[in-house]
Structure 1
């Protein structure tokens, strides 16, 4: 089995087009078809159903896709690490993160500070889905993850350092009639379009909060966002009011962020494995905790 065969397979899964896959990999359509047929021959099962008009994944192909993509991602990270070590770095530390504004604005600052303390160590960041981040830590794909406590609570061998424990907030466009208020209650939004994070992409605590919101706001309409970034686009387009944990707060002059009168809170912090907690990993975790905690208090 060759790497090019897996790359052809993964990209074809995502495009379902031999021509688009060929364009991405700079190969001809017959070359893509040849690589797929070779891979199917090696695996001894069919990956795609091909007709004159469409390409579809078989059940086996759908199952194999996630593992193949994960393998290629791990391979690329391994190549990156080896390249850095070849250039003189003695070690590499990998941070798994979500991608909300708190991380995007402050991880670069922390990484620069850490680099000045340990110039022989390179920190790299990997944007990883909430549900996959815990497994990335436990498998060693990441050395540190930024996460809610709910994601790793009661997991043996994991050390968790809390950065903040905050409640919920409402986000809205600055021209919304509610933007002049100092705090938002249930009555304020009972007939609004409410934007929520998709519970399938968030912590189980969020599912509980979501269910309570839906039950307490029977007159509201609901729009589910696959990410903070998508929710921000909805808000800026005037499609509704978002309710999110405080630590996910986006930044932007056209978005107003107001406290929401709800008791539930979320613990957000940094986690790493005790068995791999060398001096540098512990130092980076402390730096992340202290610097982001200062941002929270400011």
Structure 2
């Protein structure tokens, strides 16, 4: 069934007159009448009663008019939605967040996207370590990732959003917990709670390098994958930890956050997508994220 014939029928039904409908459609009356006859033949029933003065709908025609209007409205909606998808203002996007960004950046980012891009559905994955996010970007599970560089894959484009210092997390009953700052060397005898080792966490390597620069390697290390678990372990008195400064947005009773004295060790937070990502939706959300945090610096592949 041709859509234009449905449009012609609606015009005739609403005008109750072939002449007025033809004028509305900017066409001659004879071809309009012919198209309506072809539509009736296609449907298999008479839709209109014709007289010399007016046109009336049959019972079948009244029902067909209801459905015809729904069809035309659905087509109009489909056109609008297709344009919104093409412009990146409608669709669904999967986004991963590294642990610290889950508690710091995620809430403000979600609020900003929902306010500015209400047609976009966010599929959020929190507490993801960098290697897992990279794998998810490559297999299409994620479209966008907030992670910690370095990322050694030419298939991933990485843009650094900010740098932040490492800070200490101590149990509140720790002798140094009430200090304004803490020297890392003063924690050398404490057990450490860390993110996973063996290239599973960028922050693990940063923590280990920072401790080595302070003259020691933690004698005891307990590894956990999630930031909330790590801070909870510290609060329980199982050890101390070094975390990115944004983790202090996660407030857990029994844990105290302190800046480090005598060190400026920092880690980066970056926004990653697949290289040459064609999706206008991803581009629009990425631009919103960069605007929220303040731009970014693109890193070359295999950094």
Mapped contact 1:98–1:129 kept (Cα < 8 A): yes
Aligned to 1:91: 91
Partner Cα distance (2:123, 2:183) in 1: 41
Mapped contact 2:99–2:129 kept (Cα < 8 A): no
Mapped contact 1:162–1:289 kept (Cα < 8 A): no
Partner Cα distance (1:243, 1:91) in 2: 38
Partner Cα distance (1:225, 1:237) in 2: 14
Mapped contact 1:130–1:201 kept (Cα < 8 A): no
Partner Cα distance (1:104, 1:144) in 2: 17
Q: Provide the aligned C-alpha RMSD in A.
A: 3.2
Q: Does 1:165 align with 2:166?
A: no
Partner Cα distance (1:224, 1:141) in 2: 26
How much does 1:240 deviate? 1.8
Aligned to 2:272: 271
Partner Cα distance (1:256, 1:205) in 2: 19
**DSSP-derived class of the 1:176 partner:** coil
Give the TM-score taking structure 1 as reference length: 0.58
How much does 1:132 deviate? 1.8
Question: Could you list the runs of 4 or more consecutive aligned residues of structure 1 that deviate by over 6 angstroms after TM superposition?
Answer: none
Aligned to 2:45: none
Change (3 A) 1:222 1:113: closer
Partner Cα distance (1:281, 1:219) in 2: 41
Spell out, residue by residue over 1:30-88, the C-alpha distance to the aligned partner (whole angstroms, 9 max, x if none).
xxxxxxxxxxxxxxxxxxxxxxxxxxxxxxxxxxxxxxxxxxxxxxxxxxxxxxx9xx9
Higher share in helix: 1
Gap regions ≥5 residues in structure 1: 1-84
How much does 1:192 deviate? 1.9
Change (3 A) 1:159 1:124: same
Partner Cα distance (1:201, 1:249) in 2: 24
Give the TM-score taking structure 2 as reference length: 0.57
Aligned to 1:143: 143
Mapped contact 2:244–2:267 kept (Cα < 8 A): yes
**DSSP-derived class of the 1:114 partner:** helix
Q: Does 1:188 align with 2:186?
A: yes
Change (3 A) 1:139 1:290: same
Q: Does 1:134 align with 2:167?
A: no
Aligned to 1:119: 118
User: How many pairs were matched up?
Assistant: 205
Q: How does 1:229-268 map to 2 (within 5 A)?
A: 229-252=228-251, 254-260=254-260, 261-268=262-269
Aligned to 1:65: none
